Amino acid sequence: MKEHTKILNEFLRLFDNYQNEVNREDSKVLLDLSPNELKQKFDFSIDRKGISYEALLNAIENYLSLSVKTGHKQFFNQLFGGYNLSSILGEMTTSIANTSMYTYEMSPVATLIELEVIQKMCDHVGYEDGDGILTSGGSLSNLQAMLTARNKYFPGVMEQGTQAFPKMTAFVSEEAHYSLEKAGSILGLGTRQVIKVKTDISGRIIVSELERELEESINNNEKPFFIGLTAGTTLKGAFDSIQEVLPLVKKYNLWLHIDGSWGASVLLSKKHRHLVEGIKEAHSVTWNPHKTMNISVSCSALLVKEKGVLERNYSTDKIDYLFHKNKNETYDLGKKSLQCGRRVDALKLWLSWKYYGDNGYEKRTDKLVELAQYVTEKVQNHPKIELMNIPSFLNICFRWLPNIELDVNPFNLELRESLLKDGLGMVNYGYIDKDLTFRLVLTNPEIDKEDIDTLFSNMEKMAIEISTNHTKKAIAW
């Protein structure tokens, strides 16, 4: 047997052991280690002489044992998670082939696969003649959307820069992802020119406030050009109303972008796609399959309504050492990407979609929403838990109320840290106004109600224990 075959077989054994570990009932989501503690358990050094493959495998095994187990059924921390074998197979195949996505010549099969998944996503959005590109994440997709809008609405800005034009303004909700504000900085607008519009109690943009901000910008001799709505905000999971904003888009002649990094996957569900009603009228959409479609990080798409708009609005002059004149040049995807070297992320998405099909993904999406409803009811029916938002998607915000007189914010932070320390669960938190809130998100369709029950049972035991310990300290003091 060749050496590389032995090494790969051993790697597959490690992979199998890792999955068994993740799925064990007593498995911990993470080992809560400080950087110094981690340095004692893992050799981060790189030596001049190098090491053997056996030593490399030991390092891989150690890496897996010390990493956060995002496929664990008690991982509710980020907007991704779960385990997807078809996607993992795509990742491994991509690494073996090791091609890049700038020209058809370099990646013929991957190019046609990417075109296929982009067309599939455009079909779900409702774009009849749409286009798009896969990117490394939602932040880059949002940046490219704003860049495309800027270059389309201000011809010549690519060559002359923003200083040659009136002050440009973009509008997003105050709960929009920070990447849109960052895009304003990168593109030369300035972060102050990305206007954050007030939201209602649910986290949705207030349309009357949006129009007021637009009018104020115009009165200041500025040039509004971009509205970025959010389909699934990071904290509350809110969906801005596309239908209510469309009249403003037409009235002021603006580019409408939908940041559906988190929530665009509702398009896969006939039951829940009403949350993005009107999305087909948007000029562009960000959709991250590495979130609720469980594709391995990272995999994002920027979709545009108008075919060719990407290439026309930020392609540079001819680069004859890379893009050659030939019969397949129209398939060179690098011309509509900000990246030159670009990883093949299409294969893992294509394999997963091919495996599950539209029906499978619809069932997975519907199950997650049903689980979110179960969590919501569980929170509402618990005397010591306060629901902090009215969930419309897969985000449930709540906080625990202590049994004794304690500040609620520090109590909940201690509860979260205790959960992490014991490795029993991982749930992120944020702030609604000044109130610290747990933000439980559901992304893993392998989770069942029993897993939810386990999490809340563990949290309740810890909440009682924390209250008891504080009572004892108060008595002792």
pLDDT of res. 311? 85
**Domain finish residue from 52, 67, 82:** 67
Do 287 and 185 share a structural domain?
yes
- What is the β-pairing status of strands 385-387 and 194-197? unpaired
383 in a structural domain:
yes
Residues 425-456: tens digit of each pLDDT: 999 999 999 999 999 999 999 999 999 999 99
Does pLDDT of 101 surpass 90? Answer: no
pLDDT of res. 319? 62
Lowest mean pLDDT among 159-168, 335-344, 415-424: 335-344
- Label residue 27 by pLDDT band (50, 70, 90): very high
Residue 8 tokens, joined? 């790969």
Do 422 and 277 share a structural domain?
no
Lowest mean pLDDT among 47-56, 117-126, 235-244, 466-475: 466-475
Q: How confident is the model over 186-199, as a mean pLDDT?
A: 96
Do 442 and 310 share a structural domain?
no
Q: How confident is the model over 352-358, as a mean pLDDT?
A: 97
Do 364 and 311 share a structural domain?
no
**Domain finish residue from 46, 67, 88:** 67
Judge contact between 165 and 223, C-beta under 8 A: yes
Do 339 and 241 share a structural domain?
yes
81 in a structural domain:
no
Do 361 and 339 share a structural domain?
no
- Determine the straight-line distance between the first and last CA of the chain, rounded to whole angstroms: 70
349 in a structural domain:
no
Measured CA to CA, the distance from residue 254 to residue 217 in angstroms comes to 13
Residues 72-94: tens digit of each pLDDT: 999 999 889 988 999 999 999 99
Bridge partners (DSSP) listed for residue 70 = none
Residues 62-71: tens digit of each pLDDT: 999 999 999 9
Segment holding 464, helix H or strand E: helix 449-476
pLDDT of res. 192? 95
Residues with Cβ within 8 Å of 436's Cβ and at least 6 positions away in sequence, in order, are: 399, 408, 409, 412, 413, 429, 430
Does pLDDT of 324 surpass 60? Answer: no
Residue 346 tokens, joined? 């299409």
Does pLDDT of 381 surpass 90? Answer: yes
**Domain finish residue from 299, 317, 344:** 344
277 in a structural domain:
yes
Please state the φ and ψ torsions of residue 280, each to the nearest 5 degrees.
Answer: -65, -15
Judge contact between 231 and 259, C-beta under 8 A: yes
Does pLDDT of 321 surpass 60? Answer: no
Do 305 and 254 share a structural domain?
yes
Do 373 and 238 share a structural domain?
no
Does pLDDT of 317 surpass 60? Answer: no
Could you give the 3-state DSSP secondary structure of residue 225? strand
88 in a structural domain:
no
Residue 201 tokens, joined? 């109690």
Measured CA to CA, the distance from residue 444 to residue 76 in angstroms comes to 8
Judge contact between 268 and 256, C-beta under 8 A: no
Judge contact between 397 and 437, C-beta under 8 A: yes
Amino acid at position 120, single letter: K
- Label residue 386 by pLDDT band (50, 70, 90): very high
- Label residue 2 by pLDDT band (50, 70, 90): confident
- Label residue 330 by pLDDT band (50, 70, 90): confident
Do 175 and 281 share a structural domain?
yes
Helices 449-476 and 408-421, axial angle in degrees (round to 10): 120
pLDDT of res. 1? 60
Residues 263-315: tens digit of each pLDDT: 999 999 999 999 999 999 999 999 999 999 999 999 999 999 999 899 887 66
Instruction: Report CA-CA distances (Å) from 197 to 96, 144, 205.
Output: 47, 21, 7
Do 247 and 387 share a structural domain?
no
Please state the φ and ψ torsions of residue 212, each to the nearest 5 degrees.
Answer: -60, -40
- Label residue 158 by pLDDT band (50, 70, 90): confident
Do 467 and 333 share a structural domain?
no
- Mean model confidence pLDDT for the chain: 92
Segment holding 438, helix H or strand E: strand 435-441
Overall domain count for the chain: 3
pLDDT of res. 356? 97
Does pLDDT of 470 surpass 90? Answer: no
310 in a structural domain:
yes
| pLDDT, greater one: 343 or 230 | 230
Q: How confident is the model over 14-30, as a mean pLDDT?
A: 91
Q: Which domain holds residue 464?
A: 357-476
Q: How confident is the model over 215-234, as a mean pLDDT?
A: 97
350 in a structural domain:
no
pLDDT of res. 25? 84
73 in a structural domain:
no
Helices 346-380 and 449-476, axial angle in degrees (round to 10): 60
- Label residue 341 by pLDDT band (50, 70, 90): confident
Total length of the chain: 477
CATH of the domain at 447: 3.90.1150.170
CATH of the domain at 325: 3.40.640.10
Do 262 and 362 share a structural domain?
no
In sequence order, which ranges of 126-262 are alpha helices (DSSP H)? 138-153, 157-160, 178-186, 207-219, 242-252
